[in-house]
Amino acid sequence: MRFLPGVLGALAMCGAILPGAASAQPVNTGHLTAELVSAVQGVAPGQTIQVALRQDIQKDWHTYWRNAGDSGEATQIAWTLPTGWSASGFTWPTPHRIPFGPLVNYGYEGEVLLPMTVTAPAGATPGGTVTLRAKATFLVCADICIPEEATLALALPVTAQPAPADPRWGARIERAVAEAPKPAGLVAAFERSGEVLKLAVTGAPLKGRDLAGAYFFPFSGTVIDHAKPQAIERGPEGLTLSIAPGYDFQSPTPPTEVAGVLALDGAAYEVTAVAGPPPAGAAGLGPPPARAGPGGGVSLGLISAAVFAFAGGLILNLMPCVFPVLAMKAASLAGHGGAGGDARRQGLAFGAGVVASFLALAGGLIALRAAGLEAGWGFQLQDPTVVAVLALIMLAVALNLSGVFEIGASFQGVGSGLAARGGLSGAFFTGVLAVVVAAPCTAPFMGPAMGWAMVQPPVAALTVFLALALGFALPFVALAFIPGLVERLPRPGPWMDVFRKALAFPMYAAVVWLVWVLTVQVGPDAVPRILGAGVVLALAGWLYGAAQRRAIVGGRTLGLSGAAVALAVAAVAGGAVWPTYAVATDGISGSAELDDEAYTPERLAALRAEGRPVLVNYTAAWCVSCQVNDRVALSTRGVAEALDRNNAVYLKADWTRRDAGIAAELASFGRAGVPLYLVYGADGGDPAILPAILTEGLVVKALDAAGKPS
């Protein structure tokens, strides 16, 4: 009989410790079932426990990670807790990639647990029950995306002592927390290399692991291009990923840190990479190997890089972008009859201009890279303002060569190297101009030398650029210093005027090329602006030429000269400097901006009363398929032309923010989410409902059908 009192006493003690069990009611939101689950059966005063938001997601549907990727929206939770209680944010499990058309998103399918820590106040009273309430919001997507929500509650006994683990959820939540990405002492750094972001990671957790499936999930949605592949290079102590940089790296102040999750097969780690050289043992960064040259070498040192640079500089003289400038200067020497002393002085001045310009470029490159910015040969032409200014300079050069105006000897090298008189400053600035126009060209042998120099200390980089400058300057300097070569130049005569005017056309061609570069950088809106500035500059040149001709006959020139200067300043300011050009975003070939109006039922009714076809797009910024359809099927020239020829109107019903009216309209068409595409015909009637996945041809066909009377 003693046994029974013992059992009853034990049961009474257990009752004192655990008066009840944790309980929660699952909520079906439509495409997933959500509930709050606890790792333990109760909570003691002052204790911190793990609670998880469980999602059981319908087959073929998914929700999103903290960074949704190219589109989507992360799961969120808002707590309503008793006074003194607190809860953390989610501990996010490692996501997986979810490709959709040209986009890649990050999220979860099936069942997922999102753990959080909940802390009880020290003054909580044992013996009672606390109810933790929260509102969770989800974006659930398949071919369409539907925002769903659930109001959840979790009742937990407050116990005098820490309660045992929940038999159903305790081990699963503990495993989810253990497997979630965490810092692991990894060392990481990143560098921009052209159009590639090199992310290098090393550390003990990576040694001996299979790194074939490595992938970097960034915390920020704009730091990389999620849709591009990530190439892997193994190193002795880690790896380097080659990643396409995202929008953040188009900013004038690119990131100094890149944080995220490095996922491997069977493990994942949080990493924070800093801008700078790679850690020891990583692969893929540091001085690149030279391409095999004529000698079959596989690596470069300072001497071989300088030799390659010198050879590249020699060949650079024959590039189409440089040859017209040198031809002008050679003709200038011929115009002076090849006078030895004057020719040598001009040759030296030209060489000084070349060397000074190349070293200035090298200094700029070194400064930019030291500041953490990626820059390479021709970096100055990456700035639309510089390209626009250079286009106007080339136009002024061409107008001068065409005889619209003349400039004095001190400015010969900036555009009129064929003026009748010589000038050391003209020769110097001809060297400067030759280097400027050489920037977009790369001659044989230059690539390995420049690639090597870009990752070397400043002294080595300057040495390589000096060798390039000497090679580039040598042919003209030799022409000026070798009497036999100078004497072989044609004697002055009428041919010079013909040759001068002929050289204007390569300069006009350079203007066309630079305008094209500008349109690639900033889009077609640059064309009227730069061409308009060119017309104003041409007028300034013509007025300046008129002033010069009037001066010859003793007339007054102040008014014409002043007007020419004012117009030239206006051309440069309006065409290149103000307002600053904005870099165009990447687009898809054949893309077009559609003229759209905000949808309202009243606007739709008015347009239908007018007998106009209407395309209605129910969309949202977080909707994956909406964004894919917009890129590949709606924002195209074909759809724009179809809207125009059918006198149709494009209305956008934006459901990015909750709108009860739009939700009701979606329901009236049997839809619970977006996208939904309707095409109303010109003759009335019910709209045609387009598929959730569009093609350009399908939309064009529907618009053409809507525009024809039945």
Report if residue 282 sits inside a domain. no
User: What is the token pair recorded at 419?
Assistant: 């003026």
**Backbone region of residue 287 per phi and psi (left: phi > 0; alpha: psi in -120 to 50; beta: other values):** beta
User: What is the token pair recorded at 472?
Assistant: 């580039």
Residue type, 14: C
Whether 379 and 255 map to the same domain: the answer is no
Quote the CA–CA distance of 462 and 246 in Å, as a whole number: 31
Whether 462 and 505 map to the same domain: the answer is yes
Give, in degrees to the nearest 5, the angle at Cα 308 between 305 and 314: 140
Torsion of CA 516, 520, 522, 525, to 10 degrees: 60
Q: Starting from the edge strand earliest in sequence, which strands make up the sheet with 32-38, in order? A: 27-28, 32-38, 48-57, 111-119, 86-87
Specify the CATH number for the domain of residue 613.
Answer: 3.40.30.10
Give, in degrees to the nearest 5, the angle at Cα 117 between 111 and 118: 115
Specify the CATH number for the domain of residue 34.
Answer: 2.60.40.10
Whether 530 and 617 map to the same domain: the answer is no
Report if residue 591 sits inside a domain. no
DSSP states along 268-319: EEEEEEEESSPPTT-SS-SSPPPPP-TT------HHHHHHHHHHHHHHHTTS
What local confidence, expressed as pLDDT, does residue 22 receive? Answer: 74
User: What is the token pair recorded at 200?
Assistant: 């290098």
Closest by CA position to 439, among listed 558, 339, 319, 533: 319
What's the total number of domains in the chain?
4
Report if residue 394 sits inside a domain. yes
Report if residue 635 sits inside a domain. yes
What local confidence, expressed as pLDDT, does residue 413 receive? Answer: 34
- Which residues are bridge partners to 55 per DSSP? 34, 112
DSSP states along 248-268: GGGSSS--SEEEEEEEETTEE
Cα 199 to Cα 246, 311, 382, 507: the distances in Å are: 13, 34, 23, 42
Whether 43 and 149 map to the same domain: the answer is yes
User: CB-side exposure of 682: number of CA atoms within 13 Å?
Assistant: 15
Whether 354 and 479 map to the same domain: the answer is yes
Specify the CATH number for the domain of residue 259.
Answer: 2.60.40
- Which residues are bridge partners to 57 per DSSP? 32
Low-confidence ranges of the chain (pLDDT < 50): 1-19, 284-299, 336-338, 372-376, 408-422, 442-443, 584-589
Whether 382 and 520 map to the same domain: the answer is yes
Whether 269 and 350 map to the same domain: the answer is no
Pairing between β-strand 649-654 and β-strand 597-598 as defined by DSSP bridges: parallel
Whether 375 and 317 map to the same domain: the answer is yes
Q: SS3 of 7, please?
A: helix
Q: SS3 of 108, please?
A: strand
How much is the CA Rg of the chain, to the nearest whole Å? 35
Closest by CA position to 586, among listed 633, 635, 641, 639: 635
What local confidence, expressed as pLDDT, does residue 418 receive? Answer: 32
Q: Which of 152, 179, 206 is the last residue of a domain?
A: 179
Identify the sign of the CA torsion 266, 272, 274, 279: negative
Whether 317 and 463 map to the same domain: the answer is yes
Q: Which of 256, 275, 294 is the last residue of a domain?
A: 275
Whether 379 and 519 map to the same domain: the answer is yes
Identify the sign of the CA torsion 537, 539, 542, 546: negative
User: What is the token pair recorded at 475?
Assistant: 């042919």
- Residues 350, 473: contact at Cβ < 8 Å? yes
User: What is the token pair recorded at 480?
Assistant: 């000026």
- Residues 26, 142: contact at Cβ < 8 Å? no
- Residues 447, 315: contact at Cβ < 8 Å? no
Quote the CA–CA distance of 460 and 290 in Å, as a whole number: 16
Report if residue 535 sits inside a domain. yes
Q: Which of 545, 577, 609 is the last residue of a domain?
A: 577
Torsion of CA 166, 172, 174, 176, to 10 degrees: -150
What local confidence, expressed as pLDDT, does residue 175 receive? Answer: 95
Buried b (16+ CB within 10 A) or exposed e, 90-109: bbbbbbeebebbebbbbbbe
Quote the CA–CA distance of 304 and 64 in Å, as a whole number: 52
User: What values do phi and psi take at 153, rounded to 5?
Assistant: -140, 145
Quote the CA–CA distance of 704 and 646 in Å, as a whole number: 7
What local confidence, expressed as pLDDT, does residue 2 receive? Answer: 43
Q: Where are the beta strands (DSSP E) in 194-229?
A: 196-202, 215-218
Average pLDDT, the chain: 80
Report if residue 420 sits inside a domain. yes
Structural domain of 148: 19-179
Q: Residue 551: how many CB atoms within 10 A of its CB?
A: 13
- Residues 452, 287: contact at Cβ < 8 Å? yes
What local confidence, expressed as pLDDT, does residue 415 receive? Answer: 36
Quote the CA–CA distance of 364 and 128 in Å, as a whole number: 70
Quote the CA–CA distance of 35 and 53 in Å, as a whole number: 6
User: What values do phi and psi take at 295, rounded to 5?
Assistant: -85, -5
Quote the CA–CA distance of 613 and 607 in Å, as a whole number: 8
Query: What is the distance, to the nearest Å, from the Cα of residue 281 to the centroid of all Cα atoms in its chain?
Result: 29
Whether 349 and 430 map to the same domain: the answer is yes
Q: Residue 215: how many CB atoms within 10 A of its CB?
A: 20
Query: What is the distance, to the nearest Å, from the Cα of residue 159 to the centroid of all Cα atoms in its chain?
Result: 54
Quote the CA–CA distance of 98 and 323 in Å, as a whole number: 52
Q: SS3 of 456, please?
A: coil
What local confidence, expressed as pLDDT, does residue 647 receive? Answer: 93
What local confidence, expressed as pLDDT, does residue 7 receive? Answer: 40
What local confidence, expressed as pLDDT, does residue 361 receive? Answer: 77
Report if residue 4 sits inside a domain. no
Report if residue 38 sits inside a domain. yes
Pairing between β-strand 187-193 and β-strand 267-275 as defined by DSSP bridges: parallel
Quote the CA–CA distance of 421 and 307 in Å, as a whole number: 37
Q: SS3 of 607, please?
A: helix
Whether 524 and 644 map to the same domain: the answer is no
User: What is the token pair recorded at 324?
Assistant: 């017209």
